[in-house]
Amino acid sequence: EQCADMLKSLHSLVKKMIKSPVPILVSIKGQCLGGGLEVAAAGNMLFAAPDAALGQPEVKLAVFAPAASCLLPERMGQSKAEDLLFSGRSLSGEEALASGLVDQIAEDPEEAALAYFDKHLAPHSASTLRFAVQAAREEFIERVTAKLDRVENLYLSGLMSTHDAVEGLTAFLEKRRANWENR
């Protein structure tokens, strides 16, 4: 019953992030899965620990990741994004760097993000940086927000009317094995 509200709330956050007038630097340690990776992927630059785990396991529950379906192809290309979205597997931080999902690997990704900010962003005019962000992201924002609205509708109106999607989420919440009927 809470699915639509939760999805709309997550997508609202993602849209705010991609429309941010200033760069968002994301630090990733440990597991960054599902909605966590969807939020992280909305950032401008991702810094991850080598042993971080990044993935979209939703397909294992018979659902898909709407925001990731829009953001990951933009970050890492269609084929690599489809691998994560269709398989549900996770990448290490090193694999995520090689695939283009993250921008930098560091033992302390928060420190690396702050160092990047200090060296490459802080010295510049904040007002000019806002214009640079707007110029660089204008078409990206239009593409992703329009696609996200369509994909959210597909999720809520199409996917959530299937037996397997409801069964997968119910089984997950009840901590039991799902009984797929492929419908």
Place of tokens 């797929």: 180
pLDDT at 3: 85
* Amino acid at site 152: E
pLDDT at 1: 66
Question: How many angstroms separate the first and last alpha carbons of the chain?
Answer: 20
Which one, of 32, 35, 34, lies nearest residue 48 by Cα?
Answer: 32
pLDDT tens across 134-153, in order?
A: 999 999 999 999 999 999 99
Residue ranges, the chain, pLDDT below 50:
none
pLDDT at 95: 97
HEC string for 42-105: CCCEEEECCCCEEECHHHHHCCCCHHHHHHHHHHHCHHHHHHHHHHCCEEEHHHHHHHCCCCEE
Place of tokens 């039991």: 176
The whole-model pTM stands at: 0.93
pLDDT at 2: 81
pLDDT tens across 70-90, in order?
A: 999 999 999 999 999 999 999
